Amino acid sequence: MLGSLSIRDRFLISPIIGVLLTLILYFTSDQILQSHAKLFSHINESNLPQISEISQVTLLLTESNSEIISLLLESEGFDEEEIYVEGKKQLNNLYQIKERLAKSINEQESLMIDDQDIFLAIKNAFQDYLTEASLSIEMSSVDAKQANYELVLANKKLKTLNQLFLKLSQHYSNNLTEQAKLVEGTLYQETYITELAIILIALMLWSAFYFSKHTSKGLTQVYSALIKLSKGDTTIENYQHNDAYIKNIWAAVSQFKQSIEKSESYQNELLIQKFAMDQHAIIATTDLKGVITYANSKFSEISGYSVDELIGSNHRIVNSGNQSKAYWQSMFKTVSKGNVWHDEVLNKAKDGSEYWVDTSIIPMTAVEDKNKITGYISIRTDITDKKLQHQKLIDANVIAESAVIAKGQFLASMSHEIRTPMNGVIGMLELVLNNKLEAKNRQQLELAQVSAKSLLSLINDILDFSKVDAGKLELESTDFSLQSLLNEFTDSMQIQAKQKDLILQLTMNNLSNKVVAGDPGRIRQVLTNLVGNAIKFTKKGSVSIDVKLIEYNESTWSFNCVITDTGIGIPQNSLENLFDSFNQVDASTTRKYGGTGLGLAISKRLTKLMAGDISVSSEVKVGSSFQFTIPLSKSNKIIEKTIQRPPTLAELEIPIWPENTLLLLVEDNRVNQLVILGILKRFGLKADVAVNGVEAISSLEQSNNRYDVILMDCQMPEMDGYDATRHIRKNQLVNYNASTPIIALTANAMSGDREKCLKAGMNDYLTKPIEPEVLLTKLKHWLFIK
């Protein structure tokens, strides 16, 4: 009945029943006050501190995350040390927030909201965010793209964490509202009783009602504000209230509002970052079956498909077929284990054109279960231009390699074409000089022979340079007497020095009876180039050769040689490039002094090849000094025979040959035939001639012709020497001539020519022009003459 009355009516009838309720006044007043005290104490102790603490943590976390975003966006302006220091600072902030959250959460018992332990979920979500944020900071100084990707994952974790904080805050807010309603309801119920009391009771009830209404209004305002915040609406008024309890609640609500505003600011920054990434990266997400669930505009632009065409299609829509099935199986095996896969992939656009992308595929995991993969995100960069440039470099390299091969073939061909007539010139001159001649004729022929050998020396320089340049020149390691080599070399150069009235002097230090291991031919070649140049560019005075042998270690000598002249000297500005290929001090040098400009370049490369070094110092009109150093191995062998000048054909000691010794000369060049036959005649040997491999095989197959040695040219018409040799060796069991020793006589002097001859079945190898002494040595060896 009283419940249907207005408050005003209740106050009018209260005097009538006041007496009846006087006795109740004491009990009800005391009960009301105790009940109110308990309710507000419970509100203050259970919920308000938690709402305040959660708001503080949320605010700190949002500020720290914003600073991390700023760090990554501005990382290009920092060096690695600055990035490291700032990153460490942000990590420390995150761990301090973690400790603060841990203290707050650990004080609570488990709280189940929607069948979920909210405290445990918050701990796990914060740890996930901390892990991804740490990776992003650590990668910021190494790989900006990977750092941005890790930051995107971290912000997904932060979003999950904010949702959990919001859920907990809503839970607390609901509790506060329910408690407020409970207080309000209790007050109204108890007001009905006090309305029946006397004026004192009415006065007390009015005071209680006013207090309840005032408090309830504040709580209602808080509740309304929390509802708006839960919907993302931050346009709330911050009411001023004198009550301490309401002030605390409003402070917590205000902090929660600030955290949401910070979060919105971060979301805007993240959208800006995503927009920037979308402008450069090709991004797509797929489900577990590879069906595209998201594609950005860059993907649409490069593939030619619209975004609507891409979404819902399998990612195989851009498969070019260039990669094998096993390739994609390996990729899926990697990502299905939760690992990131990265490679360069060739894709096909809608119009059939192909494009290359640098691809990273990253598994996406469920929030509630990190081990559960829910899909994949693909981040790609267009590298088509880069691949095209790379292919151009490959093509250019192939062309360059082809040019090198062509160069080698050209040099080999030129070597053969030049050496073949040179063999005729030098050989014929050698044969003529072995006859009785008038002094004038002999002098003229000797000059022609010197010129021919000079020409051959130039050819050898060019070939040696090409072999060194191509890395195909092989060094020998022979035991020899360095003292004998230097004495013989100096004697051979005295002729040139005396022709110009120059003094050529050799000074040796610590070389007596020293046997070393190295390549005497290449050492002699370096000496010839340097001493030859010194004589060439010196008009008067002297050329000195100062050498010494210094012990480097227990197994190695250091051979130091200094060639000094009193010649024209070299300008200082020409010294730097003096050892370059085809380089001479000025263009007039070639005409005035001759030469190819390769001698010093070859000398430098030979000393480098022998692990040595070469240098020069010079002064114009005073002279030059060339110094080179070469390491030589020590040797305990005793060299009985000293190095001597090769004897002339007339000086050779001819042995007594086995009776009826017969040779087969296989040579297509008529001049070379005459030269070699002339040399063999001087040796006291007879030979048949075949002009190609076909004739050679025919001669061998005649049973009445048993040849003791075959001299085989390599390049001939119809059948060359290689094929002829292989044919002969193939019939070795049928024809007794098939095992006859075969000595290659070839104008080929490039690296690998000797091995090619031996591989074809030849027994030995001689280069043209033929040196009679070397040919005699070979014949004595294969005819078993001691």
Residues 528 and 627 reside in one and the same domain: yes
Q: What is the pLDDT of residues 510-519, one digit of tens each?
A: 887 789 999 9
What pLDDT does residue 96 have? 80
Higher pLDDT, 782 or 89: 782
- Of 144, 174, 204, which one is at a domain's C-terminal end? 174
The answer to whether residue 733 scores a pLDDT higher than 50 is no
Of 619, 634, 649, the last residue of a domain is 634
Range of the domain at 99: 53-174
Calculate mean pLDDT across residues 69-90.
71
Decide if pLDDT at 10 tops 50. Answer: no
State the CATH number of the domain containing residue 319: 3.30.450.20
Say if 395 falls within a structural domain: no
pLDDT, greater one: 331 or 39: 331
> 287 and 336: one domain?
yes
Residue 602 lies in a domain: yes
Percentage of residues in the chain having pLDDT higher than 70: 70
Q: What is the per-residue burial (b if ≥16 Cβ within 10 Å, else e) of 550-582?
A: eeeeeebbebbbbbbbbbbbbeeeeeeebbeee
Q: Into how many domains does the chain fold?
A: 4
pLDDT at 186 exceeding the cut of 60: yes
When pLDDT is cut at 50, 70 and 90, the band that residue 7 belongs to is very low
What mean pLDDT do residues 160-174 have? 77
Last residue of a domain, one of 597, 617, 634: 634
pLDDT at 154 over 60: yes
Which of 398-412, 453-467, 566-580 has maximum average pLDDT? Answer: 566-580
Alpha carbons 232 and 163: distance in angstroms, whole number: 12
Which pLDDT band holds residue 276 (cuts at 50, 70, 90)? very low
Torsion (CA) 513, 517, 523, 524 in degrees, nearest 10: 60
Are 677 and 619 members of one domain?
Answer: no
Q: Can you tell me which residue has the tokens 């006065």?
A: 203
Higher pLDDT, 653 or 352: 352
* Three-state SS sequence of 117-147: EHHHHHHHHHHHHHHHHHHHHHHCCCCHHHH
Quick one: pLDDT band at residue 251, thresholds 50, 70, 90?
A: confident
pLDDT band of residue 475 (cuts 50, 70, 90) is confident
- Buried b / exposed e across 218-240, counting CB within 10 Å, b at 16+? bbebbbebbeebeeeeeebeeee
- Residue 368, classified by CB atoms within 10 Å of its CB into exposed (0-12), middle (13-18) or buried (19+), is exposed
The whole-number pLDDT of residue 421 equals 76
Residue 627 shares a structural domain with residue 493: yes
Q: Assign 588 a pLDDT band (cuts: 50, 70, 90).
A: very low
Q: Using CA atoms, how far apart are residues 210 and 212, in angstroms rounded to an integer?
A: 5
349-373 pLDDT tens trace: 999 999 999 999 999 887 667 788 8
- Looking at residue 309, what is its pLDDT? 93
Sort 592 into a burial class: Cβ within 10 Å, 0-12 / 13-18 / 19+.
exposed
331, 293: one domain: yes
**Same domain as 629, residue 498:** yes
Q: Is residue 253 part of a domain?
A: no
Coil vs helix vs strand at 559: strand
What is the percentage of the chain residues whose pLDDT exceeds 90?
27
* Sign (positive or negative) of CA dihedral 528, 532, 535, 538: negative
Please tell me whether residues 482 and 623 are part of one structural domain.
Answer: yes
The more confidently predicted of residues 93 and 611 is 611
Could you tell me if residue 728 is inside a domain? yes
What CATH code is carried by the domain that includes residue 103? 1.20.120
Same domain, 64 and 162: yes
Q: Which stretch of 178-192, 373-387, 463-477, 580-594 has the lowest confidence by average pLDDT?
A: 580-594
Give the list of residues 6+ apart from residue 316 with CB closer than 8 angstroms, or none: 290
Number of C-beta neighbours around residue 246 at 10 A: 19
Query: Is residue 44 in some structural domain?
Result: no
Q: Which of 360, 355, 354 is nearest to 342 (CA)?
A: 360
- Is the predicted pLDDT of residue 272 greater than 50, yes or no? no
Query: Any idea how long the chain is?
Result: 786
Q: What is the pLDDT of residues 193-230, one digit of tens each?
A: 555 555 555 555 565 455 555 556 666 777 777 777 66
Assess whether pLDDT exceeds 80 at residue 665: yes
Q: In CATH, what number is assigned to the domain containing residue 508?
A: 3.30.565.10
Looking at the domain assignment, is residue 491 inside a domain?
A: yes
Give CA separation, 289 vs 269, 286, 314, 349, 435, in Å.
32, 7, 8, 21, 96
Mean per-residue pLDDT over the chain, rounded: 78
Whether the pLDDT of residue 77 is over 90: the answer is no
Cross-strand bridge partners of residue 689: 665
d(CA 454, CA 461): 10
Asked whether residue 21 is assigned to any structural domain, the reply reads: no
The verdict on 562 and 602 lying in the same domain is: yes
From CA 633, how far away is CA 117, in angstroms rounded?
A: 81
E strand or H helix at 630: strand 623-634
* Separation between Cα atoms, residue 745 and residue 187, nearest integer Å: 127
First to last CA, the chain: 150
360 domain residue, yes or no: yes
Burial 108-131 (b: 16+ CB within 10 A, else e): eeebeeeeeebbebbbbbbebbbe
Q: If pLDDT is split at 50, 70 and 90, which confidence band does 582 have?
A: low
**Confidence (pLDDT) at 263:** 62
Token digits for 447? Answer: 């000059």
pLDDT at 496: 86
Residue 662: left (phi > 0), alpha (psi -120 to 50), or beta? beta
Provide the b/e sequence for 151-189 (b: ≥16 CB within 10 Å): bbbbbbbbbbbbebbbbbbebbbebbbebbeebbeebee
Residues 684 and 535 in one domain: no
The pLDDT, as a whole number, for residue 587 is: 46
What does the block give as tokens for 31?
A: 């009960």
Q: What is the pLDDT of residues 485-537, one digit of tens each?
A: 999 889 888 888 998 999 999 999 988 778 999 998 889 889 999 999 999 99
Query: Whole-model pTM above 0.85?
Result: no
Q: What is the pLDDT of residue 617?
A: 94
Within this chain, do residues 292 and 382 fall inside the same structural domain, yes or no? yes
Q: Are residues 773 and 721 in the same domain?
A: yes
- Measure the CA–CA gap between 54 and 118, rounded to whole angstroms: 13
36: Cα separation from own chain's centroid: 76
Q: Residue 413 above 70 pLDDT?
A: no
